[in-house]
Amino acid sequence: MKEYTALQHKKVLVLGLAKSGVAAAELLHELGAFVTVNDAKPFDANPEAQDLLTKGITVICGRHPEDLLDEGFELVVKNPGIPYSNPIIADAISRNLPVITEMELAYLVSEAPFIGITGTNGKTTTTTLIFDMLAAGNRNPLIAGNIGTVACGVAKEATPDQIIVTELSSFQLMGTREFKPHIAILTNLYDAHLDYHGTFEAYANAKFGVTRNQTEEDYFIFNNDQEVVRNYAEKSKAQKVPFTTNGRCEVGISADAEAIYWNGEHILNRADIALPGKHNLENILCAVAACLLAGCGLQAIKEVLATFAGVRHRTQFVREWKGRKIYNDSKATNCLATKSALEAFNKPIVLLAGGLDRGHSLEELREAMGNVKAVVAFGETGSRFIDFAKSCGVKETVAATNVEDAVVYAAKLSAEGDIILLSPACASWDQYDSFEIRGDVFIDCAMKLS
């Protein structure tokens, strides 16, 4: 860990605990700051807060006092999920207090360089691929951010010969000031999290934070097939590395139907890649480019691509059952992600979909519904999915109570050679606490099919 003294004897407020808040509070305490933690959960039911108190950190639990900032804080570190409309955050901004997330702390103390991956879709798969490739190439990577360990917990232990691979949300990036990954990736930009950001422009600006502080010594890998991403890339001061799936290009990384090319030179055949789907090809291009720039050998990259079958909950192959292949895509919480999953298969699909109803249109899925032979719908959007499926000409539709119920129906509606695919196109929170729990339930039910 770097010797970082700028926060020594400074009063710092950590707002919201969870894993990132605990890690941030502990790191700040180590750096010599006077730390106060404020969390909504009552102290008696808050073991994290109880532990922090024993370490000499001030803890205020069970409420958010309106006059909290009158204590004279010089910095606020907030949980990424807390919106900027929160009264305490809004008060901090009105007082010109800096408001950051723990990702910024991680950068400030890390001796290791960062690879930062952001975008609307594809972050988790890209991040995991990069980590696996760098590990296979003996580049000693660490993984942090939305997957893996909390970033500042990883960063304080990292050494200069390591690389920290980080999946970054727009929420995290909004809370950065100096954060500067050596290699930054922007996979794509679509409407998402507008309930948090308000507008697409605000959301995209937050994502651009992944490259905002980069210099000509750094690299920015970006989606050259999307005009909105190209426009943002023009503002980056880093060395630009475009990626495209629309044919061989002389600059950056590209792919056609047969192969992948690095600066126009053939480097590997697509037939040697295990992971299906055009959307995954984009993720693969990002990962390969990042690893080549990080000094990873091509042979290690090829070895990973030959065996990598997907990230848990993201077009994850679960099992083969009576000639059907079953896939878990619970992380598909919007229509675009489900559209990508549907387009990855050229066999008949029994689609399990539904969940929290945010009022989003399902029309984005229409052109990808051609191979869908049946839809089993559940959750708040269940009836909307059934009406939509019928309008697309899907012959069989069933309303299920939940995922457990849906697996039973899907097994009955499927035939040998079919794909059974959970790809909900909705958040899980109407019935399940997270998409991971929803996916785990699906996997458990699929494995119990006799």
The pair phi, psi for residue 25, each rounded to 5°, is -60, -45
Distance CA 143, CA 79 (A): 19
Asked whether the predicted pLDDT for residue 194 surpasses 80, the reply is no
Please provide the distance, in angstroms rounded to a whole number, between the alpha carbons at the two ends of the chain: 52
CA Rg value for the chain: 23
Can you give the pTM of this predicted structure?
0.82
Q: What three-state secondary structure class fits 206?
A: helix
Residues 6 or more apart in contact with residue 292 via CB below 8 angstroms: 262, 298, 301
User: Beta 11-15 vs 99-100: how paired, if at all?
Assistant: unpaired
Residues 6+ apart with CB under 8 A from 111: 1, 2, 158, 159, 160
Is residue 344 very low, low, confident or very high in pLDDT (cuts 50, 70, 90)? confident
Residue with tokens 């003294």: 5
Question: Are the CB atoms for 424 and 333 separated by under 8 Å?
Answer: yes
Residue with tokens 């519904």: 369
Is 192's pLDDT higher than 80? no
Q: Which residues are annotated as a binding site?
A: 119-125
Q: Which domains does the chain have, with CATH numbers?
A: 11-100 (3.40.50.720), 103-307 (3.40.1190.10), 316-447 (3.90.190.20)
Residue type, 100: I
Query: What pLDDT digit, counting tens, does each position of 238-286 carry?
Result: 999 999 999 999 999 999 999 999 999 999 999 999 888 888 999 999 9
What are residue 363's phi and psi, to 5 degrees? -60, -25
Binding positions for ATP = 119-125
CA distance 152 to 28: 10
